[in-house]
Amino acid sequence: MSEKGKRGKKKQPQHSLKEKRQIKKDKANHKEDHLIS
């Protein structure tokens, strides 16, 4: 096994898929807020 693989198993990824999707949504909302105001 490569070092990366070992490290990846011990340490959780920074953002889960759900979180990534939520962040994308938040960013989109931010852009819309800018356009409105």
pLDDT in tens, 1-37: 455 666 656 666 677 889 999 989 999 988 887 776 6
How far apart (Å, rounded) are the C-alpha atoms in residues 13 and 7? 10
Nearest residue to 28 (alpha-carbon basis) of 11, 4, 36, 6: 36
Residues 6+ apart with CB under 8 A from 23: 15
Q: What is the pLDDT of residue 30?
A: 84
